[in-house]
Amino acid sequence: MSKSEIQAKSLRRVSGIADVLEGQLGRPRPPRKKSPPLDSLIATLLSQNTNDRNSYRAWLNLKEQFPSWERVHESRWQTVAKAIEVGGLKNQKAQRIKLILRTILQERGSFALDFLRAMSDEQAMEYLLAMKGVGSKTAACVLVFSLGRDVFPVDTHIHRICNRLALVKTKSADETFEAMKPLLPSGRGYSFHVNLIHFGRQTCRSMNPLCGQCVLFDDCSYPLRHRNQAKTPAIMRRKRETDFLITEKIATGNSKRRNHSDR
């Protein structure tokens, strides 16, 4: 089988898996209201190494205490750290936020990333990845949730599932992001990303996955799936209301508190 035939087969398989997940979880649609790119960047940075509930609380605290990104930039990093403490790694994240704001101001003269809209996906990714603390998942989330690009961000859940399904054989989320690029059917980036995250949180968990509830059981290569299947009932659990994505939450404006803009 030629390389092109192998890739075509992989594309069909990924498309089929996306279809199954959409049949089970629905086809998520991107919010009509897009959050400013700088908002998405900071919110995704806050979500690193914590859950979305705590990172969203950190985001709300940050917005409540600082009326603009200029005020964040002017404040001591220790003050910013105290505001985002609930999200974990407060010192590291506060210093990175300050560095990002300083870099954007020095390069662009304002606290805005709207210029990314005129860039190609590759150019926008390159610009964002040059910032300290911004990896492929964070950069790709900005492209998807703020710029509406057909990109496939990879977090730890997606990295785990793609390897269990033998779509890739990688050691990190960044490697999975690169390996999945040629395998993603056009127009499926957002839906596949969102559904795999929910699927990873609810069913294909890191520890003790609920294989008896898995709609992708026959596609899976996880070595303990048959043992786990016998332990779990074959009933798909409903999505909990608390199972949300911070990048969606800030776009839909579900908070009564004042929203940031890029400026």
Q: Are 122 and 191 part of one and the same domain?
A: no
CATH number where 64 lies: 1.10.340.30
Q: Are 176 and 201 part of one and the same domain?
A: yes
The dihedral through the CA atoms of 109, 111, 116, 118 has a sign that is: negative
Q: Are 16 and 44 part of one and the same domain?
A: no
pLDDT at 51 over 90: no
| Mean pLDDT for the stretch of residues 124-140 | 96
List helix spans (H) across 110-172. 121-129, 136-145, 156-164
233: pLDDT confidence band, cut at 50, 70 and 90? Answer: low
| Mean pLDDT for the stretch of residues 158-163 | 98
Q: Are 43 and 143 part of one and the same domain?
A: yes
pLDDT at 100 over 90: yes
| Residue 161 lies inside a defined structural domain of this protein | yes
Q: Are 129 and 47 part of one and the same domain?
A: yes
CATH number where 206 lies: 1.10.1670.10
| Residue 222 lies inside a defined structural domain of this protein | yes
3-state secondary structure of 29: coil
Q: Are 53 and 141 part of one and the same domain?
A: yes
Instruction: Give the pLDDT confidence score for residue 238 in this predicted structure.
Output: 47
Q: Are 143 and 171 part of one and the same domain?
A: no
Q: What residues make up the domain containing 111?
A: 37-147
Of the three residues 90, 115, 147, the one that is the final residue of a domain is: 147
Minimal CA–CA distance to 260: which of 71, 86, 115, 55?
71
| Residue 197 lies inside a defined structural domain of this protein | yes
Q: Are 140 and 57 part of one and the same domain?
A: yes
Q: Are 92 and 190 part of one and the same domain?
A: no
**Which of these ranges, 50-59, 172-181, 202-211, 236-245, has the smallest mean pLDDT?**
236-245
- Report whether 45 contacts 138 (CB < 8 A): yes
DSSP string spanning 209-263? --GGG-TTGGG---TTHHHHHTTS-S-PPPPPTT---HHHHHHHT--SSPPP---
- Report whether 54 contacts 88 (CB < 8 A): yes
Q: Are 45 and 123 part of one and the same domain?
A: yes
256: pLDDT confidence band, cut at 50, 70 and 90? Answer: very low
Number of domains in the chain: 2
pTM above 0.85, yes or no: yes
| Mean pLDDT for the stretch of residues 94-123 | 96
User: What pLDDT, in 10s, does the model give residues 191-209?
Assistant: 999 999 999 999 999 999 9
> Which residue in 63, 93, 98, 137 is the catalytic one?
137
CA separation for the pair 46, 42 (Å, rounded): 6
Of the three residues 130, 147, 164, the one that is the final residue of a domain is: 147
CA separation for the pair 112, 254 (Å, rounded): 22
Over the chain, what is the mean pLDDT? 90
pLDDT at 124 over 50: yes
The dihedral through the CA atoms of 197, 202, 206, 211 has a sign that is: negative
**How many percent of the chain have pLDDT more than 90?**
78
| Mean pLDDT for the stretch of residues 65-78 | 96
| Residue 236 lies inside a defined structural domain of this protein | no
Give burial (CB, 10 Å; 0-12/13-18/19+) of 54: middle
Asked about 137 being catalytic, the answer comes back as yes
Q: Higher-confidence residue: 228 or 239?
A: 228
| Mean pLDDT for the stretch of residues 202-230 | 94
